[in-house]
Structure 1
Amino acid sequence: MKRLPWIRAAQTVTLTATTVLAVGQANPATASDNGLSIRPAMGWSSWSFVRRTPTEAAIKAQADALRSSGIAAHGFVYVNLDDFWMKCDSNGPVVDGNGRWVVDTAKFPDGMKALADYVHADGLKFGLYVTPGIAQNAVTKNTPIAGTSHHATDIAVTSTSEKNYNCKHMYGIDYSKAGAQEFVDSWAAQFASWGVDYLKIDGVGSSDIPDVKAWASALRASGRPINYALSNNLAIADAATWKQYANSWRTQGDVECYCGPGANGSGYPITDWPHVSARFATAASWQPYAGPGGWNDLDSLEVGNGDQIGLTADQRRSQFTLWSMAASPLLLGTDLTHLDSTDKAMLTNDRLIGVDQDGVAAKRIVNSGNNQVFSKREADGSYVVALFNTATTGSSTVSVSWSQVGFTGSAAVTDLWSGSSQGTVSGSYSATLRPGETRLIRAVPAGGGGVTVEAEASGNTLAGAAATAACSTCSGGAKVRFIGNGAANYETINNVTAGAAGNHQLTITYEVDGTRTFYVSVNGGTPVQVPVTGTSWSAPAHATVTVALAAGTNSLTFSNPSAYAPDLDQISVS
């Protein structure tokens, strides 16, 4: 967060919890309710390395390597077959008698069920790939829709071309027509019968939301738990929709550079640093939408084959660190049959995996050129902090104060890459980093230090018109606006912890041009007026008041029944 040389303080007010504030409850967007992906998926995907030439033998070899290398024992369990498994002719995907893609038996002579069975026998899970719409060949043949009296031409929108990267020739589907949902249901049922555990639907854009909903319904009705992933470069404007229906969603384009010597840029290098470093901004902007059941997918993790991947060892550690801090799915894109020993040590570092699997997406708290810092608070009250130098030349000293992280005082620090203790560190933490290097630490506050919560944090409650907005000068890159101007428009910051009951100092960070007023209540108590002043909607200012908190978890509600309050950036409690 940008720190200003001045602080404007409101009058000191003591807040107590005596009566209940009569306001309605919020209805925040919920995560997918299919019971899957409570933590981000981990495994391997064929696209980065195998790419356009998948075969039955190649997928089996990667599955065997995932198991025999010991990586699967650390949680990497999905073996996902991406594009180019289906048979194509000049009119697009070849279809079966019910309009569904057929397997290219030249590549997969035993079929998909046999391949899934093989993967399952390795103790792993099997994933597959599809794109929205219905094949042109199905419409040309007017194939019947399984279990109905309807046919392909009854549901196809031939004026709409759906994105398909391999065979092309896919039409849109009109989901208002009878038979449309049943078509997708029959396809999902077929995948379930093959033993599919993970389904990636690719080429999805905002215009495909009806397809996203239809596939979500079909997978739930299939009788098999199937992790549901959306791809790629999805619009953040529709993030609440992706979160409602899917278990993960690609936040950006491909991480592959397509700069290898083979056809279509295949071969090594698989990626490069610009394609990885571009994820720092999207990890920050998408952070509020991640949580149990639904995750921001930063694309394949390109760790496994050493420097030939196109990244230095420092850059590979930085990629793994960023993905883990973002709680992204960890889907390897490398050749597991030729693992590099340095990279294998990275992939079997359970401290790093634990950071990913804690189910918390980190906020960016320092964004200063090549110096980047992300932080998150885990359930046990410890903080995980990642410092990065994203430059390609020159070392840099990256620093962060504990108050920026979310507490005050001192902390016991552990380096999570090495596992070594850094001792007790007071006030702030710094590291001098090589270009592309990262430092990942766990900080355990000493003596129950304070807590800082971002207004846009996913665990908070936004009611009525209150909404998250981007803010380049704000902590974490976002704030909450449209609080107030009516009792129904408010924000409750939940999970504010206090080690002991009593008075605590509350620092409110906000943006406003002029004078406005917050009404603040603790644990639903009587709201108290806190007038504040600022000079700009893009310059964070601070007000400090005293609040009486209960021991343990508390909530703070910000409102204004008659006028708009300032924009809320974050709160800190000592």
Structure 2
Amino acid sequence: MRRSFLRPLVLLTGLTFFLPHANAQVNGSGQKPYLGWSSFSQQTLDGSFLTQANMIAQSDALKASGLQEHGFVYINLDSGWQGSFDQNGRPIPNTTTFPDIKALVDHIHANGQKAGIYWIPGIEQPAVDGNYPILGTQYHTQDIVVTPLAKGNAFAGNPPNPYHDKIDFTKPGAQEYIDSVVALFSSWGFDFIKLDAVTPGSYSNDLSIDNRADVEAWSKAIAKTGRPIWLTVSWQLSQDYASVWQQWSNARRIDDDVECEGRCATLTNWPRIALREYDDVGWQHETSTTLGWNDMDTLDVGDGALDGLSDDEKQTAITIWAMANSPMYLGGDLTKLDDFAKSAFTNDELIAVDQSGRPAIQVTGGSQPVWMSKQADGSIYVALYNLNGLPSKVTVRWSDLGFRSATAVRDVWNRINLGASPAAFTTTVLGHGSRLLKVTPFGTVSAPAGRVYEAESATLSGTTYVSQCSACSGGAKLSYLGTSPTTNNATFNVYVQAPGTYRMEVDALTQGPRALVYTVNGSRPATLNMGGGSFNLPQATTVPATLLAGNNAITFGNPGTYAADLDRIVIFGDGSAIAPDFITYEAEAAQLSGSASVGGCSFCSGGAYVGNYGDGSQNAVTFSNVTVAQGGTYQLEIDYTTSGPRTFYISVNDGAAIPLEVNGSTFDSPVPLLLPVQLNAGSNKIVIGNPNSGGYAPGLDSITVGPIVGTSNLTAAITNKTGPDLLRVWQLSFTNAGNAIAQNAHLNSFTLIPTTAGTGCYAKPVLATPLPLGSIASGSTSSLNMPIVFSPLCRDDDTYRLQAIFSANNGAAVGSLTSMETR
């Protein structure tokens, strides 16, 4: 195997490569990512929402919300405003829904806001059929199209009738037509244009349609208006042509739509948020005040439960957007803006992160990623995430960020000082939660040399092969990894002198969501979920890897679907890195029996899930080697998918199966279920299925096992139980033992599992979590009554394993209650 070595570098000095320059972007816009609102998310729920009257109402609601004083000023109309074409072939409004679009824009401007409009590349067929004269020229609309007709954007159908026709910009009149359209939008007063269905991108990543000339033409047309009009190009643009998007636009959408668009019952959901973190890794060096911004799409965080996110997930979403310096524009209905959004977006310290002009870079990846952004005053924003569903301890060592210690740490969400932090910062982070810090660093730390292992020098199996890659290390990469739990993989022989946990950089390539699943010496499987915009440009992410002294076999593949292409791995450190305290086991890598089968699932961990099981004990999923170092009670996270109610049964170490009833609105997005389980030291077997005839189990994505989280100053206990046998009311009392108020406390989850299965006894909490607890003063206690339904077969002496997770201060204080209870 060929090996090479990287020279040491000083990390803090090396961070200067992403600092922005002072020059302005194209068209006099985009010096900072914009803040505002877009109509599209609400349109996915209400097809009649896009009207002039509703846009006026949204503008007025934004003005009244208090957000406008903090920079939220854009009101952007998305697709659906257009009705026909004028005498010059230009799109004009549907006069039924938009009787006077200029009056609408005037109203938005009078409210102190800016107005945005939507259009697409190419020219639509009715404008071509009309052969309209192009304003100010001798040419007509039929003179500027490609002949024979060709696709003009990603929405186009197949020739000979694409409807969205391609413009030939080498023909006279073509640029002038775009000039005339933009001049019309400008005459109405619009300050923003979203150009959608742009390729390469928008699910058409080659040059078969190719809208690069369209983007240039629209940008040049904007310049001719003499007005600073923002231009965003959309969606899921190819990174291979980043220089084009950077030269001619102010932002580019790097992801698919964040909205479910009918595929779930809410505006969005957690897996669509997590994908933004994955996608940003490949794009993180393509953004600045001069290069334009990576647009992560709408922030659906202001419509309460309709958003499809818990408050903790909303906090994480906002933190991801802010650290990326993405434009932040709300979706939903601003007339119903909730208190969470009002509190978040009037926090100027939080807004300053997004507006800093210094997008973050990822320092550590995987399920507990860490991002950092160095500021002009020498301070550093640091974001810690927990992408798992179970709460976990997360530690960031300052040396991994390039400095020795932190003389001051400030909590940005809570706007409080946390004091100095000598070598590291450790915190318990809720499932799908985050922390956002502003750190004052001291000293510098040189990163150790890394040992490079080129992927093309690995031992390959199955269909995996070496392919050319001009941007890759060594000029080559591995393709066709995955689709099998036993073959189509690459194994590296990695040597280290001392045992311990090292930092492993993985350089890989993908366009859209893919994952690499790897094992070290045949054990401790780990999944590296990824996103990105190119199969030609490698992206680097760093994860911990625990190695033995001497030679180690690190194997990369994917048991269920195609993996990302692989360029190389680099091993750093002296073995003192921090190992994760959880292990994720992909369902597609488990032992499947009977009809259980693997299916693709782009929002699932590893890109796949297991379905078609249950309907009898012969159809099941068996995790035969769930390993923990010590026996005891652990958190078990089960990530499942379902549309409608389903039940699965879980058996641990051949014990009687316990039924778990779940519900949901989509099979394309996994949801976590947390429960306490008793595991033995060493290997354990967990079987999931449904033995009942006709009782199909939910889709199964993965399971994750982790320790019970420690408690904070906020503690809990069961203090009273009342009511009849079949409907008991348990009182939970939460005590704040800290010296400051516990703000905005919540009961995040409450799980009650019978310790004796197979008896027909079950217990169901009536109230769905999370549940608000309010604020709890220092030294005070707050109580919550939880009604619980017990089945008729439950006895008074039956015991139940309880796990409750609770938090306060925007997830900065996290605690748990684990106990054995009778009813």
TM-score by length of 2: 0.50
How far apart are residue 307 of structure 1 and its match?
A: 2.5
Q: Residue 245 of structure 1: which of 230, 245, 248 is its match?
A: 248
CA contact (8 A) 1:284 1:476 kept: no
**2:789 corresponds to which residue?**
none
Distance 1:147 1:450 in 2: 63
TM-score scaled by length of structure 1: 0.71
**Counterpart check, 1:136 vs 2:125:** yes
TM-superposed CA distance for 1:308, in Å, is 2.3
Aligned to 2:26: 33
Question: Is residue 107 of structure 2 the alignment partner of residue 104 of structure 1?
Answer: no
CA deviations over 1:304-350 (Å, ceiling 9, x no partner): 11222100000000000000000000011121101111221112111
The 1:10/1:380 distance shift into structure 2, 3 A limit, reads closer
Structure 1: unaligned runs, 5 residues or longer: 1-6, 13-27, 88-93, 454-464, 480-508, 510-535, 544-574
Contact 1:38-1:292 at 8 Å conserved across structures: yes
1:161 aligns with 2:151: yes
Secondary structure of 1:126 counterpart: strand
Return closer, same or farther for 1:311/1:541 CA change in 2, 3 Å cut-off: closer
Give matches, 1:406-425, under 5 Å.
Answer: 406-425=402-421
Work out the CA distance in 2 between the residues paired with 1:231 and 1:78.
Answer: 17
* 8 Å CA contact 2:66, 2:342 repeated in 1: no
Q: Which residue of 2 aligns with 1:563?
A: none
In the TM superposition, 1:280-429 aligns within 5 A as 280-293=277-290, 294-368=292-366, 370-392=367-389, 394-429=390-425
Q: Does residue 180 of structure 1 match 2:174?
A: yes
* Aligned-pair CA distance for 1:244: 1.1
Residue type matched to 1:250 in 2? R
Change (3 A) 1:477 1:344: farther
Closer/same/farther in 2, CA of residues 475 and 164 from structure 1, 3 Å limit? closer
Residue 285 of structure 2 aligns to a residue whose secondary structure is helix
1:43 and 2:40 correspond: no
Q: What's the secondary structure of 2:321's corresponding residue?
A: helix
Q: Following TM superposition, by how much is the alpha carbon of 1:139 offset from its aligned partner in structure 2, in angstroms?
A: 1.4
Matches within 5 A, 1:55-70: 55-70=51-66
In the TM superposition, residue 169 of structure 1 has moved relative to its aligned partner by: 2.2
Secondary structure in 2 aligned to 1:213? helix
Alpha-carbon distance between aligned partners in 2 of 1:182 and 1:38, rounded to the nearest angstrom: 28
2:788 matched to which residue of 1? none
After TM superposition, give the deviation of residue 540 of structure 1 in Å: 4.1
Partner residue, 1:271: 268
1:538 counterpart (569, 588, 591): 569
The answer as to whether partners of 1:128 and 1:200 remain within 8 angstroms in 2 is yes
After superposition, residues 443-482 of structure 1 pair within 5 angstroms as 443-446=439-442, 449=444
Report the equivalent of 2:719. none
Of 188, 196, 206, the match for 1:202: 196
C-alpha contact (below 8 Å) 1:383/1:405 kept by paired residues: no
CA distance in 2, matches of 1:80, 1:301: 14
2-structure distance, mates of 1:471, 1:416:
41
Q: Which residues of structure 2 form unaligned runs of 5+?
A: 10-20, 201-209, 449-468, 479-502, 510-541, 543-566, 575-823
Following TM superposition, where does structure 1 have runs of at least 4 consecutive aligned residues deviating by more than 3 angstroms? Answer: 7-12, 163-168, 448-453, 465-479, 540-543
Residues 270-290 of structure 1: per-residue CA shift (max 9 Å, x gap): 000011111111111101011
Deviation at 1:427, TM superposition (A): 1.1
SS, match of residue 137 in structure 1 = helix
Q: Which residue of 2 aligns with 1:80?
A: 76
SS of corresponding position for 2:211: helix
Distance 1:467 1:36, change over 3 A: farther
Which of 157, 162, 184 is the equivalent residue of 1:190?
Answer: 184
Contact 1:95 1:135 in 2 (8 A): no
Which residue of structure 1 aligns with residue 616 of structure 2? none
Q: CA deviation at 1:161?
A: 2.5
How far the C-alpha of 1:541 sits from its partner, in A, is 5.3
The amino acid of 1:538's aligned partner reads I
Partner of 1:221: 224
Q: Which residue of 2 aligns with 1:232?
A: 235
- After superposing the two structures, state which structure 1 stretch, 59-68 or 168-177, moved more: 168-177
1:385·1:405 contact (CA, 8 Å) conserved in 2? Answer: no
What's the CA shift for 1:135? Answer: 1.8
Distance, in Å, in 1 between the alignment partners of 2:122 and 2:114 is 26
CA distances 1:252-299 after superposition (whole Å, capped 9, x unpaired): 110001237xxxx7xx61000011111111111101011014100000
| Whole-angstrom distance in 1 between the partners of 2:188 and 2:149 | 32
Deviates more, 1:321-330 or 1:370-379: 370-379
In the TM superposition, what is the alpha-carbon distance from 1:405 to its structure 2 partner? 1.8
* 1:6-21 equivalence runs, <5 A: none
The question of whether the paired residues in 2 share the 8 Å contact of 1:325 and 1:362 is answered with yes
1:101 maps to a residue whose letter is: P
Q: Cα gap change, 1:542/1:269 in structure 2, threshold over 3 Å: closer, same or farther?
A: closer
Contact 1:31–1:243 under 8 Å retained in 2? no
CA distance in 2, matches of 1:130, 1:161: 16
- Choose from 420, 425, 430 the match for 2:426: 430
Question: How many Å separate the matches in 1 of 2:281 and 2:141?
Answer: 43
Give the equivalent residue in structure 2 for 1:25: none
Distance change >3 Å, CA 419–CA 382, structure 1 → 2:
same
Partner in structure 1 of residue 720 of structure 2: none
**Is this contact kept in 2: 1:43–1:79, CA < 8 A?**
yes
| Number of matched pairs | 440
Following superposition, the deviation at residue 57 of structure 1 comes to: 0.7
Aligned 8 A contact 2:26 2:250 in 1: no
Q: CA deviation at 1:539?
A: 1.9
Q: 1:171 to 1:31 in 2, by over 3 A?
A: farther
Provide the rounded CA distance (Å) in 1 between the counterparts of 2:477 and 2:329: 31
Cα 1:270/1:169, change in 2 over 3 Å: same
Alignment of 1:528-567 (within 5 A): 538-540=569-571
Paired AA for residue 100 in structure 1: R
CA distance in 2, matches of 1:127, 1:466: 40
Higher RCO structure, 1 or 2 (CA under 8 Å, sep 6+)? 1
Q: CA deviation at 1:197?
A: 0.2
Counterpart among 259, 262, 284 of residue 259 in structure 1: 262
Aligned-partner SS, 2:91: coil
Q: Does 1:211 align with 2:195?
A: no
Secondary structure at 1:159 match in 2: coil
CA deviation vs aligned residue, 1:369-404 (integer Å, no higher than 9, x gap)? x21111110111101010011122x11111111122
One-letter amino acid of the counterpart of residue 99, structure 2: P
Deviation at 1:183, TM superposition (A): 0.4
Rounded Cα–Cα distance in structure 2 between residues aligned with 1:208 and 1:363: 29
More helix by share: 1
Whether the 8 Å CA contact 2:155–2:164 is kept in 1: the answer is no
Q: What is the one-letter code of the residue matched to 2:338?
A: D
CA shift, 1:105, in A, is 0.6
Counterpart secondary structure, 2:150? strand
Residue 327 of structure 1 contacts residue 359 of structure 1 at CA under 8 Å; is this kept in 2? yes
Q: Compared with structure 1, are the counterparts of its residues 39 and 451 closer, same or farther at alpha carbon in structure 2 (3 Å cutoff)?
A: farther
Letter in 2 for 1:364: Q
Cα distance in 2 for residues equivalent to 1:345 and 1:330: 15
- Cα 1:8–1:165, aligned 2, differ >3 Å: closer, same or farther? closer
Q: Are the equivalent residues in 1 in contact too, given 2:504–2:572 (CA < 8 A)?
A: no
Q: C-alpha separation between the residues in 2 aligned to 1:9 and 1:98?
A: 61
Identity among equivalent positions (%) equals 39
Secondary structure in structure 2 of the residue aligned to 1:162? coil
Quote how far apart the aligned CAs of 1:31 are. Answer: 7.6
Aligned to 1:572: none
Task: State the one-letter code of the partner of 1:224.
Answer: R
